[in-house]
Amino acid sequence: MKQLVVIGIVVGFAGNAMGQGLDSALRYSSSGIMVQRMRLSITAQNIANISTFKDEATGLPYQKQIPIVEATADGVRVKSIEKSNEPFNRYFDPAVPQSDENGYFYYPNVNLPDEMTNLTYTESMYEANVSAFKTGKALYQAAIDALK
């Protein structure tokens, strides 16, 4: 993801006209900001549901959600949000009301250390995109000031 956004900005600055390049850079950065914001939201939702043992809609434990990101002509976008196919974690305790006939109960396939790593990475990418956007905005302002 980081390489895609940086490459997009470099290509944007190397455009034919300065205004075109800056427009592209701002579009790439803003799309990156929106994608990272969505990823942060989904990661927070995964963490918040780490102890949801039964989803009312499916009757299963909460399934980790994963955003699928794709490149577009204007940067990146969230193509879809899919549920993880990883198996649910299980624990043997026949005394728990959610236990099945074999005495196991299942809990979400959310791994807190993985989610925290994802959160840290996504936050860094969000900050990088904000920084790139601010740089593009400053360059726009410098170009406008030079024309005065």
Question: Residue 80 has what pLDDT?
Answer: 95
pTM of the model: 0.77
Alpha-carbon span 88 to 105, nearest angstrom: 10
Which residue segment(s) compose the domain that 128 sits in? Answer: 2-109+119-147
For residue 38, being part of any structural domain is answered with yes
Question: Residue 19 has what pLDDT?
Answer: 46
For residue 114, being part of any structural domain is answered with no
For residue 75, being part of any structural domain is answered with yes
For residue 101, being part of any structural domain is answered with yes
Burial class for 130, CB neighbours closer than 10 Å (0-12, 13-18, 19+): middle
Query: Which residues, in sequence order, are CB contacts of 93 under 8 Å at separation 6+?
Result: 99, 103, 104, 105
For residue 127, being part of any structural domain is answered with yes
Alpha-carbon span 106 to 88, nearest angstrom: 6
Question: Residue 20 has what pLDDT?
Answer: 62
For residue 94, being part of any structural domain is answered with yes
For residue 32, being part of any structural domain is answered with yes
Question: Residue 140 has what pLDDT?
Answer: 86
Number of structural domains the chain divides into: 1
Question: Residue 55 has what pLDDT?
Answer: 83
**DSSP summary character for residue 56:** T
Q: What is the residue-level pLDDT of the chain in tens, covering all 148 positions?
A: 333 333 333 333 334 444 467 888 889 999 999 999 999 999 999 999 998 888 888 888 999 999 999 999 889 999 999 999 999 988 998 888 878 889 998 889 999 999 999 999 999 999 999 999 999 999 889 988 898 8
